[in-house]
Chains A and B, each alone.
Chain A
Amino acid sequence: MTLANDMLLEMQRRMLRIRYFDERASKMVKRGEIPGTVHTSIGQEAQVVGACMALGEGDYMTGNHRSHGHPIGKGAKLGPLMAELVGKAWGVCQGKGGSMHLADFKVGSLGESGIVGSSIPIATGAALSSKVLNNGKVSLAFFGDGAANQGCLYEAMNLASVWKLPIIFLCENNQYALSTPQHTVTAGVVAERAHGFGMPGVRVEDGQSVLTVYDAVREAVDRARAGKGPTLIEVVTYRFNEHSEGLRLAVDYRNAAEKESWLKRDPVKMFRSYLQEQGVADAAMLDGIEADILAEVDAAVQFAEDSPDPDPSVAFKDVYTVPIGVAQ
């Protein structure tokens, strides 16, 4: 698919936003500036952005604990996300979700889930609402190779297929569920499981190429919007950092040569080269974009610093729409 230059540059911007945001978040965890931990999407930016940009602005998306990339890829503002990571009042969830449970309904981000696989049925429900209301919106459920073995995925795939729901099940196969290699716990090929449910299953081997991912997801989105039902897409990728920042395991479960070979396939660097080779942008322009995004991340950190702590009463708000009183 041939894309306009401004779309290609927007892809690079969004990938850089994820990269710089997560690099900063990683540092902040290590300095104790972010309570708890974070799970970065560094190394997986192409897979996230390729998928998100194949969706329209009004489309829905759910995700998982590796959560910052998804809303950023979908177009969320960085300031409220960073404020959420530090637990401040101006956080996108008012400081009640934190890193693993970001949601930005303004951009169709219906929530990241700390329970592996648990948001897949939610995305399926959003697709049901699109179908019933006939509003043309599509849903996309991000989940990892670990979640590919949760039962709710198969309940959701069956329901989505039998009801022809406009949804894409997108497996981000970064090849490890924390430390557990995928092939040791997963029979066969994830994408091939689609056939049992009467839907297309697509395996994208080059998940480091944002355009390859975009093309695969775009086809599925078009299919969903045309009323032809769901698609399962498995994208092979690699996370460059540890499962979570600050995690130190006694065993190095990923061998050095493997890591080395994947680090060479850095999606952000690869796409920068592509844009130059294709004459979409020159080095100076790309340097300028990188500087702009870095400044956006700085501004987001400043926004988080400027934000007050949440008022203690917020702990008791939004349990219900119509409160029934909270025992204290």
Chain B
Amino acid sequence: MTVMSYLGAIGAAQREAMEADSRVIIFGEDVEANVYGTMGGKSRADKGDFLQMFGSNRIRNTPISEEVMVGAAAGAAMTGLRPIVDLSYSTFLYMAMDQFINQVAKSRYMFGGQASMPVVFRSAMFYGLSTAAHHSDRPYPMFMNMPGIKIMVPASPSDAKGLLRTAIDMDDPVMSFEACMLWGMKEDVQDGEFHIPFGVAKTVRSGSDVTVVAISSAVPAAMQAAQQLEKEGISIEVIDPRTLAPFDSDAVLNSVARTGRLVVADPANRTCGAAAEISALVAEKAFDCLKAPIIRVTTPDTHIPFSPALEKQLYPNAGMIADAVRKVAGTRKE
């Protein structure tokens, strides 16, 4: 085991994938200078400089041109490379929506399976850091609405490393939504190369009274809530789906079958968010198990304001999750 940060784990997964397969390349804005954590070391000297290790043919700074970055990655993936594109902020993805939706997601299908699309699009969600509306979105639900793209939302260093490696080695396009808020999180990560399969949720904590499905930064928040709730005699089971496409329905349905109660904590906006989809799934498939209405804890349908005084209240935190749990458990009335 090695202690690794979330960002360090992302760097390690990329380094190992590049060492294992010469078809893997990285391009994006400022990747040579490691501005957004492509290399994952504390400094260039500390962990090895990707540019020095792999050369300028495989590590490429791009112009600020998201549309061609995304489209070129698709074209390169269809013709023998396995690109990792570092798109830095998740809001920058919008610049390339046509390429994501019409080319990346649809090419394999529309051309009758002729194309394979082994490409990973990494971006960081900078919410909670006073970067205001143009930098703070959590846009994964928009892409859940589009078949053809796989989506990972790691909430720990180990998951970030294992999922990212699976994504790089997979023949389908993957969007990796990394939470900037978790960049510094550290834990023991198993040594060497490893893969975590997509579509397999992690039960972060077992419990018997309420199922809490938590996404991205809501996972540590739910774990914090669990400690407080334990003192109140409420035992929650925390499930991190880890990937949203594919989504591990069985894990959630099995847990709800035991607890009969569901809270979904999702830092994305409320309407048509991941929480909405998960709630609908449980309402459709496990209605008979439910002892209380499902509660979603999400970011409200507003934009992200700059001022910390305004922003802080918006995202699912331990207090909000605990309150929702108390409500479905019937220990709090409102």
Contact = CB atoms under 8 A, between A and B. Distances in A.
Contact of A118 (B69, B73, B103): B103
A124 B57 contact: no
Interface stretch (A29-37, A129-137, A185-193): A129-137
B102 A126 contact: no
A199 to B, nearest CB: 15
Interface stretch (A156-164, A215-223, A274-282): A156-164
Contact of A121 (B60, B99, B108, B147): B99
B67 A93 contact: no
Nearest to B119: A125
Given A132-B25, A321-B108, A124 B72 contact: yes
B62 interface: yes
B326 interface: no
Nearest to A123: B75
B114 A103 contact: yes
B122 to A, nearest CB: 17
Interface stretch (B4-12, B77-85, B208-216, B227-235): B77-85
What interface size band does chain B fall in?
A: 35 or more
Contacts of A128: 72, 75-76, 81
Interface in A139-172: 139, 151-152, 155-156, 158-159, 162-163
B170 A111 contact: no
A129 B76 contact: yes
A7 interface: no
A60 B70 CA distance: 18
Interface residues of A, number: 54
A126 B75 contact: yes
A93 B113 CA distance: 7
Contact of B80 (A104, A123, A133, A151): A133
Nearest to B70: A121
Contact of B112 (A92, A132, A135, A137): A92
B147 A319 contact: yes
Contact of B81 (A95, A122, A133, A321): A133
Given A125-B77, A128-B72, A133-B81, A118 B113 contact: no
B119 to A, nearest CB: 9
A197 B68 CA distance: 15
Contact of B110 (A62, A101, A132, A156): A101
A322 B63 contact: no
A124 to B, nearest CB: 5
Interface in B66-107: 67-81, 98-99, 102-103, 107
Contacts of A127: 75
Given A121-B103, A155-B67, A132 B58 contact: yes
B148 interface: yes
Contact of B68 (A92, A103, A152): A152
B108 A110 contact: no
Contacts of B67: 121, 151-152, 155
B65 A158 contact: yes
Contacts of B68: 120-121, 124, 152, 155-156, 158-159
A40 interface: no
Nearest to B245: A324
Given A123-B75, A132-B25, A319 B80 contact: no
B78 A319 contact: no
Contact of A93 (B71, B81, B102, B111): B111
Contacts of B170: 321-322
A126 B71 contact: no
Interface string A101-122: 1011100001101110011111
A318 B112 contact: yes
Candidate in A96, A125, A128, A129 with the most chain B CB atoms within 10 angstroms:
A125
A225 B102 CA distance: 30
Nearest to B111: A103
A84 B147 CA distance: 22
B199 A132 contact: no
A95 B57 CA distance: 38
B103 A113 contact: yes
Contacts of B261: none
A26 B199 CA distance: 47
B112 A125 contact: no
Contact of B150 (A124, A131, A135, A320): A320
Nearest to A115: B102
A110 B77 CA distance: 11
Contacts of B69: 159
A320 to B, nearest CB: 5
Nearest to A104: B114
A318 B147 contact: no
Given A93-B111, A126-B78, A318-B108, A118 B65 contact: no
6 contacts: A60-B79, A121-B75, A121-B103, A122-B75, A132-B57, A163-B60
Interface of B: 23, 25, 57-58, 60, 62-63, 65, 67-81, 98-99, 102-103, 107-117, 147-148, 150, 170-172, 198-199, 245-246
Q: Which A-B residue pairs are the 7 nearest by beta carbons?
A: A121-B71, A125-B75, A324-B246, A94-B112, A125-B72, A93-B112, A155-B65
Given A125-B73, A128-B81, A321-B172, 5 more contacts: A121-B71, A122-B72, A124-B75, A135-B80, A318-B109
